[in-house]
Amino acid sequence: MRLQNLKRAMFDILKKTKIQYMFVAALFFRLLLMPFFVHPDIKIYHFQASFLKHGVIDIYSYLNEKQEELTFKEEFVYFPLAYLALGSYQIVISPLLGNGFETWLSDATQTWPVDQYAYRYLFVLKLPYLVLDLLLGLFMASLVTSKKRKEAVLLFWFFNPFSLLLIYVYSNIDIIPVFLTVASLFTAKKKRFTLSAVLLGLGAAFKAYPLALLPFLVLKADGFKQRVKTALAGLGAFLIVLVPFWSKNLVSDSLASGLTTRIFKVYISLAGLHIPVALILGLLFFFFFWKNVKTQPLYRMYFAATLILLTFIEFHVQWLLWTLPFAVLLVVKEKRMRLITLLIYLLGFSIPLFLQDKSMTVSLFRSLSLVFTSIPIPFSVIARYVDPHKFVANFRFVFTVVALFQLALLTKINKNK
């Protein structure tokens, strides 16, 4: 696939006036959000990534060695490509941000969100997310054929409140692997399975979850030889990035960290073996899609795989972004899925709002003023009436039930094409 073809596929739709208007409107309220809302994670992982410009390559070992001296003691939990990408971006932008930027990154006091230049820093740090987010919309629109569906995809992607919150308010790095998984879908549609697998492997070099999509991509490849090639390309791309960084610190802080292995925590015991429930469900879906590989589109498979990952675990809110592009394609192509998908997202988003964590709610506004940190969080309001932990557990249970129901719906062949 030539770059020109890709450019044409993505940007030609911008010539249509209504889509152009939609694009600018989406840009407008994204610009409004970028500098004024903040989650502390963006500062912490950029603080860690700032060591690349000082020549630190093995960030995992470095942070462990220097833990006592650093203002933030956290380990680097992401995979190496996240460090390289964020660190490289900082090398480019640091001269534009001035000397105070590094001081701000290492500032662990309560007043960092109201620093004189905080708006500038937050805006620039979120700029790559804006580019990826807008490109992602165009990418997804190019995955459907009719004008009406293209408009619907853009409407659902650009104007849904979930992606806005996840990308510009919670601001985690997930948009990068999400972009790569959608790029994988795009290239797979063009029958470029090896490239598609490489994109998944690169996505996994940021965060592990795109590896869970690889078996489904392999199913879609034609013939045994192509399937082996696809599997090897995906794993190869992942390992090529990972191996140079291999150390016991990488294993403990990232590869085998509580975040990466959380999916294995819910299991059933069988003959002394702990078998993760998500793995069982994943295998069931793998065999289902294998049987119906000709009738099942890849976006359904990717949606199922990402939803399975979230169904049984205490997920972080930003992980909901993993499913979102596939959910958009699903609801555009299958109207009957709209209500239940909306329900999944409403439930998924409600859970973190009720956690005992200010940074998930009122503190997101503290870049406007520190007074927002004094507003009572939903957790303490609920605690006056019911046990808040039980309340959240019930929400999680309902989420799991609804997610399982939607997964069951996915096993029905889509006749609404």
Partner 1 sequence: MIKKLTFAYFLLILFLPALLLLGLKDMPANIQPGFTTTLKIYGENTIEQYFSPVSGNLSGIGLSIKNANLLNKNDLILEIYKEDLLLQKTVVSGYVIPDGDFVKFRFEPVKVVDTDNLSFVLSSPLSTEQTFFETYLASENLPGNRGLVYAGENREGAISYVLLYKPHWRELVSSVYKEVGARLSEDVVFSFLYGIVLASTLTYLFLYRKKG
Q: Are 57 and 16 in contact (CB under 8 A)?
A: no
Q: Which is nearer to partner 1, 159 or 246 (CB)?
A: 159
**In the bound complex, what is the minimum distance in angstroms from residue 168's beta carbon to partner 1?**
10
Distances (CA, A) of 122 to 44, 105, 215, 249, 288: 12, 11, 37, 30, 45
**What character string, x for contact with partner 1 (CB under 8 A) and - otherwise, covers 344-383?**
------------------x--x--xx-xx-xxx-------
Q: What's the closest the beta carbon of residue 361 comes to partner 1, in angstroms? A: 9
From the centroid of its chain, how far is CA 337? Answer: 21
- DSSP state for residue 273 in the 8-state scheme: E
Tell me which of 1, 91, 92, 114 binds partner 1, using CB under 8 A: 114
Phi, psi of 236 (to 5 degrees): -60, -50
Among 1, 12, 21, 393, binds partner 1 (CB under 8 A): 21
Check: CB of residue 363 under 8 Å from CB of residue 112.
Answer: no
The four Cα atoms 278, 284, 288, 290 give a dihedral, to 10 degrees, of 90
The reply to whether 62 sits near partner 1 by the rule CB under 8 A is no
CB-nearer residue toward partner 1: 91 or 375: 375
Contact criterion met (CB below 8 Å) for 138 and 171: no
Region binding partner 1 by CB under 8 A among candidate stretches 29-37, 68-76, 181-189, 275-283? 29-37
Smallest distance from the beta carbon of 346 to partner 1, in angstroms? Answer: 17
Q: Which stretch binds partner 1 (CB under 8 A): 21-29, 213-221, 231-239, 331-339?
A: 21-29
Per rule CB under 8 A, is residue 166 in the interface with partner 1?
Answer: no
* DSSP one-letter code for 285: H
Q: How far is the CB of 377 from partner 1 (least distance, A)?
A: 10
**Pair 136, 182: CB distance under 8 Å:** yes
Considering the rule CB under 8 A, would residue 127 count as an interface residue with partner 1? no
Candidate segments 4-12, 25-33, 132-140, 174-182, binder of partner 1 by CB under 8 A: 25-33
Judged by CB under 8 A, the stretch of 28-36, 246-254, 307-315, 384-392 that binds partner 1 is 28-36
The DSSP-derived string for 209-246 is GGGGGHHHHHHHSSHHHHHHHHHHHHHHHHHHHHGGG-
Measured from the CB atom, the residue of 123 and 246 that comes closer to partner 1 is: 123
1-20 residues in contact with partner 1 (CB under 8 A) are 17-18, 20
CB atoms within 10 A of CB 35: 18
Contact flag: residue 35 with partner 1 (CB under 8 A): yes
159 binding partner 1? (CB under 8 A):
yes
Tokens (6 digits) for 263? 């999916």
Lookup: tokens for 95: 């001269």
State which residue, 25 or 284, has the beta carbon closest to partner 1: 25
Nearest to partner 1 of 91, 127 (CB atom): 127
Instruction: Please identify which residue in 118, 167, 237, 330 interacts with partner 1, judged by CB under 8 A.
Output: 118
Taking the least distance from each CB to partner 1, the nearer of 244 and 376 is 376
* Per-residue tokens: 252: 């403990």
Query: Of the two residues 28 and 224, which places its CB atom closer to partner 1 in the complex?
Result: 28
> What is the residue-wise DSSP string for 303-353?
HHHHHHHHHTS---GGGGGGTHHHHHHHHHH-GGGHHHHHHHHHHHHHHHH
Please say whether the beta carbons of 152 and 298 come within 8 A. Answer: no
Q: How far is the CB of 16 from partner 1 (least distance, A)?
A: 9
Distance CA(303)–CA(50), nearest Å, equals 34
Smallest gap from Cβ 373 to partner 1, in A, equals 9
Task: Give the one residue of 1, 5, 12, 29 binding partner 1; rule: CB under 8 A.
Answer: 29
For residue 31, give every residue at least 6 positions away whose Cβ sits within 8 Å of its Cβ, in sequence order, or none. 130
Q: How far is CA 388 from CA 310, 348, 377, 391, in A?
A: 21, 16, 12, 5
Q: Which SS3 state, helix, strand or coil, does residue 91 take?
A: helix
Tokens of 247: 């150390």
Question: Binding-site residue total for partner 1 (CB under 8 A)?
Answer: 35
Output the six-digit token pair for 317: 């809110």
Does 92 engage in binding with partner 1 (CB under 8 A)? no
| Site string (270-309) toward partner 1, x via CB under 8 A | ----------------------------------------
Q: List interacting residues with partner 1 (CB under 8 A).
A: 17-18, 20-22, 24-25, 27-29, 31-33, 35-36, 110, 114, 116-120, 123, 155, 159, 164, 362, 365, 368-369, 371-372, 374-376
